[in-house]
């Protein structure tokens, strides 16, 4: 049974990463904003924020650059891990829930020691609600002493999976895709005193424009 599960995961993953590669090769991709922040050679490393429902649209965007992607340990996370590795990203798999409570410290140690790469988080995942930034993402930025870079994407033609909590978007081939690297946000200890409410509102405003 495990062999069949693994085979199914491989087939699904291959279909998904070859498809999104084809979409990018046949589409006009416009990259805007502070692109230099995400270059491998840039001295400062960031925590990069995206919406869960837009995640599939980004995979080829930083192909070949150093990037850590966080995903879950469930079956869905297995597919995401395979797609991420195809595009050259390092994958860090965490439980859906807090587990033993040490996962934030484990993640901090991993991202700061091995390859010192940017860390990408789907900040309203893994279970929603849609477009509500989780405290975990902001705590991760605070503990790792990294600034936050929100990414935004506009896809002219896409399929939206309305039956999912995140309204997951699948871009179509021969498309127009615009990606923006927005200005950074800095998390301060004072933000935690108000449960990050003001900071969440500012970041959300940028990510929903």
Mean pLDDT of 124-130: 91
Banded pLDDT at 100 (limits 50, 70, 90): very low
Interval 148-175: pLDDT, tens = 999 999 999 999 999 999 999 999 999 9
pLDDT of residue 97: 53
Beta partners for 3? Answer: none
Mean pLDDT of 8-37: 96
Sign of CA dihedral 14, 20, 24, 25: positive
pLDDT(99) > 50: no
Mean pLDDT of 4-33: 94
Q: Whole-number mean pLDDT of the chain?
A: 89
**Rg of the chain in Å (alpha carbons):** 17
Tell which wins on pLDDT, 194 or 97. 194
Cβ-contact 138, 195 below 8 angstroms: no
pLDDT of residue 95: 66
């Amino acid at each position: 049974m495990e062999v069949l599960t693994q085979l199914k995961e491989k087939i699904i993953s291959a279909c998904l990463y070859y498809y999104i590669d084809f979409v990018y090769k046949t589409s006009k991709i416009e990259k805007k904003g502070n692109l230099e922040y995400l270059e491998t050679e840039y001295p400062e490393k960031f925590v990069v924020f995206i919406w869960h429902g837009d995640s599939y649209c980004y995979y080829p965007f930083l192909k070949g650059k150093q990037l850590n992607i966080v995903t879950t340990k469930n079956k869905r996370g297995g597919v995401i891990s395979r797609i991420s590795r195809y595009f050259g990203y390092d994958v860090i798999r965490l439980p859906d829930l807090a587990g033993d409570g040490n996962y934030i410290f484990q993640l901090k140690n991993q991202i700061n020691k091995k390859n010192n790469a940017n860390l990408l988080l789907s900040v309203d995942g893994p279970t929603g609600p849609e477009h509500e930034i989780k405290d975990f993402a902001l705590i991760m930025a605070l503990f790792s002493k990294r600034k936050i870079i929100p990414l935004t994407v506009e896809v002219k033609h896409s399929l939206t999976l309305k039956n999912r909590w995140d309204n997951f978007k699948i871009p179509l081939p021969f498309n127009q895709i615009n990606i923006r690297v927005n200005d950074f946000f800095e998390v301060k200890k004072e933000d935690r005193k108000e449960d990050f409410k003001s900071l969440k509102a500012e970041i959300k405003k940028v990510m929903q424009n």
